[in-house]
Amino acid sequence: MPYEPDTKLRVALTALAVSAAVLLSFGLVMVYSATVVRWDAYYFTKQLLWSVLGLGVCVAAAAVPQSALKKIGWLVLAAAVVCLVLVLVSPFGVERNHARRWFGFGTTSLFQPSELAKLGLIVALAWYGDRYQRQMRSFVRGLIVPGIMIGLVAGLVFVEPDFGTGILIGVIGGAILLVAGVRLLHVAPVALCVLVCLGVFMWHNPKCRVRIFEGWRNQTQNIDGPAYQAFQAKLAIGSGGWKGLGIGDGVYKQGFVPEAHTDFILSVIGEEAGLVGTMGVLILFVVLVISGMTIARHAQDTFGMLLAFGITFWIGLQAAINIGVVTSALPNKGLPLPLISYGGSNLVVTLGSIGLLLNVAVNALRADAPATPSVEPEEIAEPELTRC
């Protein structure tokens, strides 16, 4: 017997919460394992505090009314744009490796505004697609206006520079527009022009050329140079075998794999938990994506559908890119593994986004719940007495 929509939503809601909770818990364990040898419990303590804050944001996001969320969607995007501008020009922008991506003091990073920009753009595009859903097939209203929003956010991230996140934001925005009803005939020429411009830019950018053509395509010839990090990550994953060396017993995290607790934490998982652990992480992300798409399909309105789709697409795509980078299937892009990699900004925003997914699911369940009819009490007739 086929599942009713209400049952599918409940299953998706439960699967989403369980998969996110397991990924978060496992991420805390792996952050501790990846850093305890060199830095004791410093990074683990910070990640634990960020997790508590993120869970609070998750609960708040799950409880906020969607009507209020629609009203503040533009405010979130505006705040993200302001932060992106300020991080480039204000004295509180921290410069590291010739990039200004964080707010902080001195060399201490506190907040990465590009993470807020992802969520702000998704919420704003969901609101826009809901408000102008009948005009999304027009060229101006459907492509030009939201395209300016996407270009502004992605362009500011590009200037930091953060090319990987900028491209990710552009892809997420384009996917939301397609789901919102923009004609493919309008999107295809613009997307082609953007791809050509990106290709020309990367060809003439020394950093991109080194990463793609020397660090990725010719990895075996540059294992002591640009391909060092990716090559060491593959060795770490391969040394884990099927079952791994055991949590805490890895070797490559002790300086052989740079950034092992952030963007390349999957290499630690592969070495210590083996293929079983890496496949478990992959399955959990698949469950999370399927649950999110199910919630989007059964959302109460267009806003909820686009919001749930955008968040799910973002988390799933970023996880796929991170896994592809660590396994050398893709060139290095510097994107963290959601819910697992060390990093406060990404973790808090991701948990807040999970809360919004729960919000959409709960609202859909309430909308599908049948109204309880008011039943007036019937008069109870007194029993007739029978003569013996």
Residue range 158-178: mean pLDDT, rounded: 89
- 30-56 confidence digits (pLDDT tens): 999 999 988 889 999 999 999 999 999
By percentage, how much of the chain surpasses pLDDT 70?
Answer: 89
For the residues 302-330, what does the mean pLDDT come to? 93
Residue 286 pLDDT > 50: yes
**What would the two tokens of residue 237 be?**
């994953």
Higher pLDDT, 14 or 86: 14
Q: How confident is the model at residue 199 (pLDDT cuts 50, 70, 90)?
A: confident
pLDDT digits (tens, 9 = 90+) for 91-140: 667 777 667 777 776 656 677 888 888 999 999 999 999 988 888 888 88
Least confident of 87-96, 190-199, 309-318: 87-96
Residues 6+ apart with CB under 8 A from 69: 123, 307, 356, 359
Pairing, β 108-111 against β 99-105: antiparallel
What per-residue confidence (pLDDT) applies to 316? 95
Q: Say what the pLDDT of residue 368 is.
A: 66
Eight-class DSSP state of 213: I
pLDDT band at 365 (very low <50, low <70, confident <90, very high): confident
Q: Is pLDDT above 90 for 78?
A: no
Q: Which amino acid is at 287?
A: V
Q: What is the mean pLDDT of residues 150-175?
A: 89
225: helix, strand or coil: coil
CA distance 82 to 77: 9
The pLDDT-based confidence of 291 (bands split at 50, 70, 90) is very high
CB 176 within 8 A of CB 122: yes
Q: Strand (E) positions, the chain?
A: 93-96, 99-105, 108-111
Q: What is the mean pLDDT of residues 303-326?
A: 95
* Per-residue burial over 331-366, b = 16 or more CB atoms within 10 Å of its CB, e = otherwise: bbbbbbbbbbbbbbbbbbbbbbbbbbbbbbbbbbbe
* Chain segment 320-363, per-residue pLDDT in tens: 999 999 988 888 877 899 999 998 889 999 999 999 999 999 99
> Quick one: which of 346, 343, 275 has its CA closest to 315?
346
Mean pLDDT of 7-22: 93
Q: Is the confidence at residue 369, as pLDDT, over 70?
A: no
3-state secondary structure of 95: strand
Q: What is the pLDDT of residues 229-281, one digit of tens each?
A: 888 888 999 998 888 999 988 998 888 888 889 999 999 999 999 999 999 99
What would the pLDDT profile of 371-387 be if each residue is shown by its tens digit?
545 455 454 455 554 44
For the stretch 3-8, contacts whose Cβ atoms lie closer than 8 Å and that sit 24 or more positions apart, written own/partner, are: 5/298, 5/368, 6/365, 6/368, 6/369, 8/294, 8/298
Q: What is the pLDDT of residue 374?
A: 47
Q: Which residue has the higher pLDDT, 385 or 63?
A: 63
Q: What was the pLDDT predicted at 108?
A: 63
